[in-house]
């Protein structure tokens, strides 16, 4: 008899075991007590289903109201508008130190190598009012050099008078040696935009 008294649970132990059994059975109760498909819109409180509780990619287009799905960040796409004006075109050339063209966009021909470091190119159309860009190149020449400048021929305010090809279709490029104190033969890139 003394052995049974020794293993007899205390009231605190009985309460703890009952609480444990209720806690463990409570989570399984909803899964076993509710019949399948018994929870619907009437049983759900407002805002009970949130984005965090919906599996990504599980909803279909039919699950949304018309116009609710937006194809882009600014709303549904409208009809295509008219075609806009063409952007500016660019024509370019890579010219060696001897005045020959290595590569180009097309339609550019060398007119003359007027002097040391002075090159005249024919673009075939007027360069008036167009952006002219020029920079040094390394086509067979990696030595240090000075600045490169360019201007339209034809005696206009956008350029100057050239010894040959003196019209607005022609461009004069001048390359200088290191220190910029004298002209020198060096390769260059030239581009006309517009």
Interior angle at CA 177, CA 111 and CA 152, nearest 5: 35
Burial class (CB in 10 A: 0-12, 13-18, 19+), 127: buried
pLDDT, one tens digit per residue, over 22-49 is 777 665 555 566 677 777 777 778 887 8
Which residue segment(s) compose the domain that 45 sits in?
2-63
pTM of the model: 0.57
Q: How confident is the model at residue 70 (pLDDT cuts 50, 70, 90)?
A: low
Q: What is the pLDDT of residue 194?
A: 86
Q: What is the pLDDT of residue 75?
A: 60
Mean pLDDT of the chain: 85
The better pLDDT of the pair 8, 99 is held by 99
HEC readout, 173-185: EEEEECCCCCECC
4 has a pLDDT exceeding 60: no
State what percent of residues in the chain have pLDDT above 70: 87
pLDDT, one tens digit per residue, over 144-182 is 899 999 999 998 888 899 999 999 999 999 999 999 999
CA–CA gap between residue 160 and residue 162 (Å, rounded): 6
How many domains is the chain built from?
2
Q: Residues 51, 58: contact at Cβ < 8 Å?
A: no
The DSSP output letter for 14 is H
Is residue 69 assigned to a domain?
Answer: no
Is residue 70 assigned to a domain?
Answer: no
Say yes or no: 29 and 124 in one domain. Answer: no
Is residue 107 assigned to a domain?
Answer: yes
Is residue 12 assigned to a domain?
Answer: yes
Say yes or no: 53 and 96 in one domain. Answer: no
Is residue 129 assigned to a domain?
Answer: yes
């Amino acid at each position: 008899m003394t052995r049974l008294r020794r293993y007899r649970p205390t009231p605190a132990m009985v309460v703890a075991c009952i609480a444990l059994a209720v806690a463990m059975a409570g989570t399984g109760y909803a899964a076993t007590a509710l019949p399948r498909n018994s929870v619907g819109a009437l049983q759900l409180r407002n805002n009970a289903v949130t984005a965090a509780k919906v599996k990504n990619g599980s909803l279909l287009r039919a699950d949304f109201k018309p116009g609710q799905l937006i194809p882009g960040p600014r709303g549904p796409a409208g009809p295509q508008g008219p075609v806009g004006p063409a952007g500016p075109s660019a024509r370019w050339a890579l010219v060696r130190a001897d005045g020959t063209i290595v590569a180009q966009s097309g339609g550019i021909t060398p007119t003359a190598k007027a002097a040391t470091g002075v090159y005249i190119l024919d673009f075939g159309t007027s360069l008036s009012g167009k952006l002219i860009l020029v920079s040094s190149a390394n086509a067979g020449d990696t030595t240090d050099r000075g600045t490169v400048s360019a201007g339209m021929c034809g005696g206009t305010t956008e350029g100057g008078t050239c010894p040959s090809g003196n019209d607005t279709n022609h461009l004069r490029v001048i390359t200088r040696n290191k220190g910029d104190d004298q002209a020198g033969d060096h390769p260059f890139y030239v581009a006309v935009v517009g």
